[in-house]
Amino acid sequence: MRQLKKRFGEIPATISYQVEGLVLEDLETLTEDIFDFNSLADLESWLQERC
């Protein structure tokens, strides 16, 4: 969450809950994929693919 906040600023609660609910494998992937995101919309799409 700190990386997301640093990159995008305040994170909406709905996105925050989704990230907190990720399994370890997806969290590890997110830490790499975050650098490919240009906006919160990219993060939301990424989360939708995993939920």
Closest CA to 42 of 16, 10, 34, 19: 34
Return mean pLDDT, the chain.
95
Six-digit token string for 3: 């990386």
Contacts 24+ apart (CB under 8 A), 38-43: 39/8, 40/8, 40/11, 40/12, 40/15, 43/4, 43/8, 43/15
Domain ranges of the chain: 2-50
**Quick check: 51 pLDDT over 90?**
no
Q: What percent helix, strand, coil does the chain show, rounded to 5?
A: 75, 0, 25
pLDDT tens readout for residues 20-36 = 999 999 999 999 999 99
